[in-house]
Each structure stands twice: as C-alpha cells, then as structure tokens.
C-alpha cells in the first residue's frame, strides 16, 4: 500500500493580496503552519486553492513556493483535472510534474460524461500521467458522480492508487471499501465524515480545516489510527461547529475568513467567490476563540 498518502493531507488555500495577486509570503506562512501542525502531505491546486481562477503560470509559481516552504519534505500532490481529456494528457508534458509525488484528478465537469466516459477518461489520464493518480469524486461541484462500480474498475489500473471521495454518500463508500483491491486508498474528501470513513478503513483525509487547525485535525486522525476512538470522537465533536461555518457560505470563503482571524493570510478571494456575511464572520470569530482556548 502507498503509505505516503496515509493520514492528513491538507488542501492548501491560495492567499491573495488586496490587488488580487498571489501572496507568496502568506503562502509560505500557511505551508509552515500546516507542516508544523503535523499534517502528513500537502495538496496543491485542489478546489480550496481556487484553482479555476489561477493561470498556468500562477499555478506553477504557487507550486514552487509550496515546495520551497516544505521544510518537512512532505509528499506533495498536485491537482490536475480537466473536462478535455486530450488537453489534460498534453499538460502532463509540463516539467512541473517531475516535482510532485502524485496528482489529484477531478471528474470532468460541465459536459457530464457517462460512467463509460468517466472510465475511459481516467484510463487515458492514468496511462499518460508520469506520477500516480488519485481520483477525485465531488459531484456537488462537477454535476457527475463517479459511481462505486466505476471506481472499482479503475482501481485495478496500475497507476491509479486511490480515490478522494467527496460524494457524501456513505453507502457508496461502503461499496468501494467492500470491493476494492487491498492496496487501493480510500481518502475522505469531506472533513466532517472523516471519522466515520476511518472506522470502515479509509486511510485518511484531504482536509480543508487542516489549513487552519492542522494540530487538532491531524490529532483526531492519529487517535483513530491508534484505536483511541473515544479521544478521536471528542476531537471530532469539538470541530463540528467550525466545520459547519467553513462550508455554510462556500469553500474557501469561510476558510479565508478563519485564516485571516488566525493571522495566517488575508481574507481576499477572486470573483466570482465572495467574502462571507458579517453574521457568519461573527460566529466564526467566536468559534475560533473557543478552539484556541482548548488548544
């Protein structure tokens, strides 16, 4: 089993300056905060990074900053997905893929392929990718669900090592866990169902919350690994309120607010994303203060 992607991966946010440019100083600070907080690997250019509004040049520079800030030399996963299979396969010729340990590849969006189309797409991606592929299923964003049967068919491809499951469908996750090869990784794509998925054999999570609270979130995962379910459950429940706040008005808008409250980066977003409401910000301020008190 691929052990480098066990535990807590963090889906890194992209800090921006007030003029909308990438804030590489804050990004360095954020990476160090998560590494020092105990995460196990870094994910660059996932959904939380606002990747649709970053140019290819900006994405490459963000990756370079993350790599230079990665003092713990943690594994790095790079988000590489598209709804044009040929274009994505051509992208793999870019030298940046020599710098990463795996890619996270989202299901094609907007054109809504069939399950046969999804399988063929990912087989082509896996054939061409120079590094291992982690599938990313997030139907709330892509309007297409990678069904359990399709995931299991793809799980036998030698260059597809796992799936980040963000469907929220526990039954679908059960089906994948029941039928998958032993070395295929089930990774939670939703912070607040990570603990239930760990209980059925998931290897960890690619987390939004770990940007802000890496110590607390990775401790929850580690306690579950150690079989200390009482402590893991207590940590999970202590994060429920902030988890709801992070998602209520969209990710990463809620996260950016929390990161600003923690002094890690500004709360700036690129349109069409928009800052959260003052009412939600007040609740976030209170929740962050409570979590900081608990340590």
**pLDDT tens sequence across 233-278:** 999 999 999 999 999 999 999 999 999 999 999 999 999 999 999 9
- Active-site residue identified among 41, 78, 91, 164: 164
Please say whether the beta carbons of 99 and 73 come within 8 A.
no
From 59, 91, 136, 180, the catalytic residue: 136
Q: Does the active-site annotation cover 136?
A: yes
Is residue 78 part of the annotated active site? The answer reads: no
Angle at alpha carbon of residue 189, lines to 242 and 127, rounded to 5°:
155
pLDDT of residue 21: 97
Rounded Cα distance between 196 and 82, Å, is 30
Report CA Rg, the chain: 18
Per-residue pLDDT tens digits for 67-81: 999 987 999 999 999
The CA distance from 258 to 284, in Å, is 7
Strand partners, 135: 105, 163
Determine the Cα–Cα distance for residues 243 and 235; give it in Å rounded to an integer: 12
Q: What is the pTM of this model?
A: 0.95
Beta-carbon contacts of 256 under 8 Å, excluding residues fewer than 6 positions away, are 13, 265, 266, 267, 268, 269, 275
Q: What percentage of residues in the chain have a pLDDT greater than 90? A: 96
């Amino acid at each position: 089993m691929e052990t480098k992607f066990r535990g807590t991966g963090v889906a890194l946010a992209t800090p921006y300056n007030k003029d909308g440019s990438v804030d590489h100083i804050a990004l360095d600070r954020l990476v160090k905060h998560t590494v020092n907080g105990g995460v196990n690997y870094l994910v660059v250019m996932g959904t939380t990074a606002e990747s649709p509004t970053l140019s290819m040049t900006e994405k490459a520079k963000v990756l370079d900053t993350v790599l230079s800030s990665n003092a713990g030399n943690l594994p790095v996963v790079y988000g590489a997905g598209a709804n044009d299979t040929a274009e994505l396969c051509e992208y793999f010729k870019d030298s940046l893929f020599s710098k990463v340990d795996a890619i996270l590849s989202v299901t094609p969006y907007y054109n809504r392929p069939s399950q046969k189309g999804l399988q063929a797409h990912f087989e082509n991606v896996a054939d061409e990718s120079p590094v291992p592929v982690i599938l990313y299923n997030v139907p709330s964003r892509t309007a297409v669900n990678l069904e359990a049967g399709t995931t299991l068919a793809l799980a036998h491809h030698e260059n597809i090592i796992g799936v980040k499951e963000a469907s929220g469908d526990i039954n679908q996750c059960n089906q994948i866990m029941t039928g998958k090869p032993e070395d295929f990784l089930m990774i939670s794509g939703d912070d607040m169902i990570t603990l239930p998925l760990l209980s059925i054999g998931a290897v960890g999570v690619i987390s939004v919350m770990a940007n802000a609270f890496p110590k607390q979130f990775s401790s929850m995962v580690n306690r579950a690994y150690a079989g200390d379910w009482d402590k893991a459950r207590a940590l999970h429940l202590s994060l429920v309120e902030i988890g709801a706040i992070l998602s209520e008005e969209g990710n990463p808008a809620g996260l950016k607010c929390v990161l600003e409250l923690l002094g890690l980066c500004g709360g700036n977003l690129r349109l069409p994303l928009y800052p959260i409401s003052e009412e939600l910000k007040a609740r976030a301020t209170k929740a962050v203060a409570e979590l900081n008190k608990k340590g």
